[in-house]
Amino acid sequence: MTPRFPRWSCSRAIMRKPRGAVGSGHRKQAASKKRRKQHALGSSQIAPSDPDACTGRIPECPEAPAGPARQQEEVVSQASVSPYHLFRDSAEVTAFREGLLNWYDREKRDLPWRRRAEDEVDPDRRAYAVWVSEVMLQQTQVATVINYYTRWMQKWPTLQDLASASLEEVNQLWAGLGYYSRGRRLQEGARKVVEELGGHVPRTAETLQRLLPGVGRYTAGAIASIAFGQATGVVDGNVVRVLCRVRAIGADPSSAPVFQQLWSFAQQLVDPVRPGDFNQAAMELGATVCTPQRPLCKRCPVQRLCRARQRVEQEQLSASRSLPGNPDVEECALGTGQCQLCPPPSEPWDQTLGVANFPRKASRRPPREECSATCVLEQPKALGGARILLVQRPSSGLLAGLWEFPSVTLESPVQHQHKALLQELQSWAGPLPAAQLRHLGEVVHTFSHIKVTYQVYGLALEGQTLASTPPGARWLTREEFHTAAVAMKKVFRVYEGQKPGTCKGSKRSPMSVPLGRKRPSKGQQVLDGFLRPCIPVDVPSLSSATH
Ligand code: SF4
Ligand SMILES: [Zn+2]
C-alpha cells in the first residue's frame, strides 16, 4: 500500500441525519461569511490574472502548521503548473467552501464519532474520540469501523482507560480489523499523553504529528481541525480524488508535485470558521458522491467548479454537434508533456471514462513474495477438550503481540519446509512424530507490500501428552482460540477443512511432504523482521477503498 493517503474509499451512506438535523456549525455559517471571504482573499494559490505571474514558489499559507509537516514539503516550481489547474480567484474558493458545507449540513452521515465530536465538551476526550476514529478508518470501511469503534469507546472511554489496557486486550478488540499496528500505536500514543503530557492531547497539527507515535500529517490535521478547530487542511484518498477531478489533475497523485499541490489546495480551501466540518465534508463528498466509479456529478455541490465535469460536458456538446475535434474544450495552457499536473502524453483522455479520467492510478510496485510454513498442532484428546498450540509474536513489528500457529519463513517455497517446520515445532513442544506432520493446503495473504504464501500443515497428537509449555506458547481450547487475538485464522480453516468428517473444501496442494536437510530459519523473528518495514503508520493508500 502506498504510505501516503489514509482513507481511500467509496462506501455509500450508512445512516443519514434528518434534513433538519444539522450541526451547530451550520448556525454560525451566515455570521461567518465575512471572515471566510477574508480568508479566501488571503489564500495563496489563486491563479493570477496574468498567467506569467504564476511562476515562482508556492507561498506559505497563513494557517499552515510551521513544524515538521511543513518542513517536509518540497518546494515545487509553479513554472510548470498552468493557472488552468488553480482556483481563478477568491470567489471560486468561497463558492467551493460554501457549496461543500451547505451540502454537508444537508447530507452528512450520522456516524458515532461525529456525534461524539459534536457533543463532547472536554477537548481531550473529544480529541481522543476523533483520534480513535481516524486511526480505525485508515484502510477500513466505515460500515466495518462503526461496530469496532462503538465497542472500543465502551471499553476504553478515555485516554487513561486505553493507556492502562494491555496490548493483548487491544489486539483482541482489534481482531478482524487488520493492520494491527494501528491499535498498538494508538495505545502507545495514549500512554504518551497520559504519562508524559499530563493527560492533554497536543492542540495543533504540528505538535500532534511531532509528539504522538503513529500520528502522521493526515491524522494530525484531522484531529486538530475536527477536535480543536484549527484551520488546517487534510488530504486523504477521497480528497485526492475530489481535488484531482475538480482541478483536472491527471499526473500520478503519489508524485511529489501532485502530492504537494493537493496539500496546498487543501490548505487554501479549508474553511477558517468550520475547518473540521469542511475537512469531513470533502472526505464525505469523495466517499458518497465523487466515488471512484460512477460518480454522481448531478448531485455534486461543486459541480460548477469541476474541470473534469466541464470537460465531459464540452466533449458531449461537441459530439452532439458533430464537430471535428474538440474546439471548445478548455485545456491546460502548458500543453501535453510540460505540465507537472497533467497526465503524460502516453495517457490521453479516454472518453469512455468521463470524469474518472482523474485521478490517474498511482503507480504501485507489485508486492514481494514470501513463503512460510505453518502448522496447526493439536491435542484432540487433551484433558478438558481439544487444545491447539499458539505462540506469541514479538511485542513489536508486524502483528505485534498476536498469537499465531508455529511457523517458519522459507527462502524456498517448497523445499525443506517439512524439516524446518518440524524443528520449529519441536522447539516449542518437544519431540514429535515427524511422519504425522501432514501438508494440508495453502493460504495466500498480502501484508502491505509483501504477499505471503502459507503452506499449511497439521499434526494431531493422538494420545500423546506434552511436557510443560515454554514461555511464549500456549495451548488454547477451541473456544479460547476463537476469541483470542490470533493472526491468520484462515490457516485454521484449512486445517478444519482437512479433518475427517468435515467438508470445508480447502484446496489440498498436490505437493507431497518434502523432506530436506536445510537448517530451519529463525521462525517468528525472521518473519517479523522481514515484514517490519511494511507496517503502515499513518497509512495512506491510493488504491484501497475505505472511508
Ligand atoms: S462534478 Fe463529478 S467529478 Fe466533479 S467533483 Fe463533483 S462528483 Fe466529482
Ligand atoms: Zn496541466
Mean pLDDT across the stretch 460-489? 79
What residues have CB less than 8 Å from 368, skipping those under 6 apart?
449, 450, 451
Mean pLDDT across the stretch 500-516? 33
Where is pLDDT greater, at 525 or 338? 338
Residue 104 scores a pLDDT above 60: yes
| Average predicted confidence (pLDDT) for the chain | 78
457: part of which helix (H) or strand (E)?
strand 450-460
Can you give the pLDDT at residue 341?
A: 93
Indicate the range of 17-21, 266-270, 284-288, 329-333 predicted with least confidence: 17-21
Ligand 1 atom nearest to 295, measured from its CA = 7
Question: Which residues sit with their C-beta closer than 6 Å to ligand 1?
Answer: 242, 245-246, 289-290, 295, 297, 300, 302-303, 306, 308-309, 355
Strand partners, 455: 373, 442
CA nearest to 492, candidates 438, 440, 437, 436 = 440
Q: From the CA of 239, how far away is ligand 2's center (Å)?
A: 19
Record the cell numbers describing residue 458, joined without a space: 497439521
The C-alpha torsion from 237 through 242 and 247 to 249, rounded to 10°, is 40
Can you give the pLDDT at residue 325?
A: 56
Return d(Cα 316, Cα 327) in angstroms, integer.
Answer: 12
> Domain ranges in the chain?
368-509
Can you give the pLDDT at residue 508?
A: 30
Residue 269 scores a pLDDT above 60: yes
Residue 509 scores a pLDDT above 60: no
Can you give the pLDDT at residue 324?
A: 59
Mean pLDDT across the stretch 75-90? 77
For 19, half-sphere exposure in the C-beta direction (CA atoms, 13 angstrom radius) is 0
Return d(Cα 201, Cα 126) in angstroms, integer.
Answer: 10
- The DSSP code sequence of 260-271 is HHHHHHHHHHS-
Q: From the CA of 532, how far away is ligand 1's center (Å)?
A: 38
Where is pLDDT greater, at 99 or 180? 99
Residue having the nearest C-alpha atom to atom 8 of ligand 1? 290
Q: From the CA of 84, how far away is ligand 2's center (Å)?
A: 7
Domain boundaries 368-509, corresponding CATH code = 3.90.79.10
Residues annotated as catalytic are 134
Residue 179 scores a pLDDT above 80: yes
Tell me if 205 sits within 8 A of 166, measured CB to CB.
no
Kindly state the DSSP code that residue 331 receives in the 8-state scheme.
-
Q: Residue 120, Cβ neighbours under 10 Å: how many?
A: 16
Model confidence at 369, in pLDDT bands (50, 70, 90)?
Answer: confident
What residues have CB less than 8 Å from 427, skipping those under 6 apart?
523
- Counting ligands in written order, the one closest to the CA of 309 is 1
Its sign, for the CA torsion 366, 367, 372, 374, is negative
CA nearest to 25, candidates 275, 284, 267 = 275
- Counting ligands in written order, the one closest to the CA of 290 is 1
Can you give the pLDDT at residue 82?
A: 86
Where is pLDDT greater, at 173 or 513? 173
Tell me if 295 sits within 8 A of 355, measured CB to CB.
yes
Ligand 1 atom nearest to 289, measured from its CA = 7
Can you give the pLDDT at residue 382?
A: 83
Return d(Cα 180, Cα 393) in angstroms, integer.
Answer: 12
Indicate the range of 29-43, 248-262, 488-502 predicted with least confidence: 29-43
Model confidence at 431, in pLDDT bands (50, 70, 90)?
Answer: confident
Can you give the pLDDT at residue 58?
A: 26
Model confidence at 323, in pLDDT bands (50, 70, 90)?
Answer: low
Q: From the CA of 310, how far away is ligand 1's center (Å)?
A: 10
107-135 pLDDT tens trace:
999 999 999 999 999 999 999 999 999 99
Can you give the pLDDT at residue 467?
A: 59
Model confidence at 26, in pLDDT bands (50, 70, 90)?
Answer: very low
Indicate the range of 48-62, 237-251, 280-294, 345-359 predicted with least confidence: 48-62
Tell me if 29 sits within 8 A of 274, measured CB to CB.
yes
Return d(Cα 176, Cα 534) in angstroms, integer.
Answer: 19
Can you give the pLDDT at residue 421?
A: 92
Record the cell numbers describing residue 294, joined without a space: 460512477
Cα R_g (the chain), whole angstroms = 27
What residues have CB less than 8 Å from 312, skipping those under 6 apart?
297, 354, 355
Indicate the range of 146-155, 163-172, 204-213, 457-466 predicted with least confidence: 457-466
- The DSSP code sequence of 400-430 is TT-EE--EEEESSSSTTHHHHHHHHHHHHH-
- Counting ligands in written order, the one closest to the CA of 85 is 2
Indicate the range of 203-212, 383-392, 457-466, 492-501 predicted with least confidence: 492-501
How far, in Å, are 409, 415, 525 from residue 533 at the CA level? 16, 26, 14
Tell me if 87 sits within 8 A of 46, measured CB to CB.
yes
Record the cell numbers describing residue 106, joined without a space: 444537508
Record the cell numbers describing residue 313, joined without a space: 460536458
Mean pLDDT across the stretch 132-157? 96
Q: pTM of the full predicted structure?
A: 0.70
Mean pLDDT across the stretch 45-73? 34
Residue having the nearest C-alpha atom to atom 2 of ligand 1? 297
Tell me if 520 sits within 8 A of 424, measured CB to CB.
yes
Strand partners, 420: none
Residue having the nearest C-alpha atom to atom 1 of ligand 1? 303
Reply yes or no: is the peptide bond before residue 359 cis, omega within 30 of 0. Answer: yes
